[in-house]
Structures are given as structure tokens and as C-alpha cells.
Amino acid sequence: MDQLAQQLVNGLAWGSIYALIALGYTMVYGVLRLINFAHGDVYMVGAMSAFYLAHALGFAAAPSLPGFVIVMALSMVVCALLGALIERAAYRPLRRQPRWAMLTTAIGVSMLLEFGGQAVFGADPKFFPQLIESAPAFRIAGAVVTNIDLLIFTVSLLLMLGLRWFVYRTRAGMALRAVSVNVDAAALMGINVDTIIAMTFMIGSALAAAAGAMVGLRNPKIEPLMGLMPGIKAFVAAVLGGIGNFPGAVAGGLLMGVSETLVAAYISSTYRDAVAFVILIAVLLVRPTGLFGSVTVEKV
């Protein structure tokens, strides 16, 4: 049964990735009640920009850990700016419109990033440079944990703790929480809602970019459509955990990663993607508020 331990390690690595992306979804939904379809594609832009930065800054030729960290940090900045741009250009004008308008626009932005990515980056897959040579870091219960897996766990944990600190220990974080509860009341309290929302997008996008860069390192094949499925899966993870709930998003992400890996290993790999949708339907039908979410009444 040492196989199970290895599967869990595999699953948790992807789970951390999904958790990072899910946090972005949950944050944006919290403040805007919008499912940001384009979020998965921001993850892709993170991977792509990390790829180009690695080559441009010369780290591809001289692999190193600090090199990767710098590349990842820079791609986080790039995507934060992208996130702010998307919010300002595509979502802010529609804030007073019916919900389907923003949702449709989000789909449009998602497609724009995907196919624009194909036009700009080329549709062929690219291969992320091996900035860190994969090597076993340690063995636990018969499972091999590589140094890259360890990096993913560590970075994800640090980013999540950082987010938690930000949301619960800073004024800006408090403002964010206020906007999530009631936009109008927050505005009346003197909070600049536009700024908070833009900030939310920037943080969420930065997390997605980190996820993208790390995936590039671990599974080096990257291409413009790579964000589609992970985006949907991360969204399902957010819903599973209770959309709007941060620890829920993390739990949901880890659960998604593990269940997907177990299904691929013990049932069939072609059902790997279906797991996400089955979980989604099940959650929506049985407990729409998710594992950790709270029930809200629809006021007329």
C-alpha cells in the first residue's frame, strides 16, 4: 500500500495548485459576486510570463533556485497588473448591470486570453526550462517527494499564511472583508470600494501566477489553453469549500487534487476531468453553500 502514500503526495501537489487558484476565485466572488471565468487564464499567463522571463533574464541557461523565485515573483507582478486591467476595463463598467452581463463578459475575457495567447505565444506547447533539476528530496511511507513538490508545498503554505495575515491583520484586509459583507454599507463607511476591488483582483491574480509558475516547473508542458481545466477545477474547489470562504477554498483545492489523482489511478485516467464536474453537481444539488459556507436567505 505504499502506492497510496505516493498517490497522496501526487494529489496534494496538484491540490496546492488548485487551492492557490481557488483562493483567487473565492476572493473575487466574495467582493463582486462574480465567477471570474478569466481567472484560470490568468494562471496560464503566469506560467507563460514565467517562461519568457526565465529566458529573457538568462535563468534558463543558468538554472538556480533563487532564479526561479525571482521569475515567479516577477510573473506575480505581471499578472497582478493584468488582473487590475481586466477588472478596470471589462468588469467595472458592468457593475450595475444584470449578473449575466458580467458573466458573459468574463467568458469573453477568458476566450480573449486563451486565443490571444495562441496568437501571441503560438498555439504549440512550450517547454518550461528546468530552473530546478528534479531530484528526490525525501521519502515518506514509501513515497518519493521531489524537491519541486516540496517547493510547491512550501510556497503555497507561505502564500496562504501571508494572505491570512493580510486579510485578518491589516486595515486593507478589513476593508476587503467589509466589502464582501455589504458593498453599499462599506462605501457609506468611507471605504473606497473601487480600490478594494482592484486590490482583490491583483492579489488573486498574483496567487494564480505563482501557481502557474510552479506548475511550469513541475509539469513543463505549457500552452495557451492550459488554464481552462485547472480554472474550472479550482472553481469547483472554491464551491466545494464554500464560495467566499478562504479556508474552504484551500480545503476544497486539496480535496480536488487528491480525489482526481485517486480516480485517475484506480478507475480510469479519462475520467480525471469528469471528477470535477461530478463533485460540482453533487455540491450544487446537495449542499450549495459548500462544506464551510453559510446559508444566506434570498431577500425579495
How far apart are the C-alpha atoms of 261 and 269, rounded to whole Å? 9
In the chain, helix, strand, coil percent, each to 5? 75, 5, 20
Of the residues 57, 69, 73, 273, which one makes contact with other proteins according to CB under 8 A? 273
Residue 14 neighbours by CB distance under 10 Å: 22
Q: Binding residue for other proteins (CB under 8 A) from 115, 166, 177, 187? A: 115
Q: Determine, following the binding rule CB under 8 A, whether residue 17 of this chain makes contact with other proteins.
A: no
SS (H, E, C) 129-175: CCCCCCCEEEEECCEEEEHHHHHHHHHHHHHHHHHHHHHHHCHHHHH
Q: Does 2 bind other proteins (CB under 8 A)?
A: yes
CB of 211 to other proteins, least distance (A): 14
- Residue among 123, 125, 144 at smallest CA distance from 216: 125
162 sits near other proteins (criterion: CB under 8 A): no
The answer to the question of residue 99 lying near other proteins (CB under 8 A) is yes
| Amino acid at position 182, single letter | N
Residues 191/200, Cβ–Cβ less than 8 Å:
no
User: Does 181 contact other proteins by CB under 8 A?
Assistant: no
Among 154, 182, 195, 269, binds other proteins (CB under 8 A): 269
**Residue 26 in contact with residue 191, Cβ under 8 Å?**
no
Q: Kindly tell me which residue out of 56, 64, 81, 97 binds other proteins, with binding defined by CB under 8 A.
A: 97
Task: Compute the distance between CA of residue 211 and CA of residue 43 in angstroms, rounded to an integer.
Answer: 7
Backbone angles phi, psi at 138, to 5 degrees: -160, 170
Is 193 an interacting residue with respect to other proteins (CB under 8 A)? no
**Residue 26 touching other proteins (CB under 8 A):** no
The site for other proteins, by CB under 8 A, has a size of 70
Beta bridge partners of 221: 127
**259 near other proteins, rule: CB under 8 A:** no
Which spans of this chain sit near other proteins (rule: CB under 8 A)? 2-3, 6-7, 10, 14, 33-35, 90, 93-94, 97, 99-101, 103-105, 107-112, 114-116, 118-119, 122-125, 127, 130, 134, 136, 144, 146, 219-221, 226, 228, 232, 235-236, 239, 261-262, 264-266, 268-274, 277-278, 280-281, 284-285, 288, 298, 300
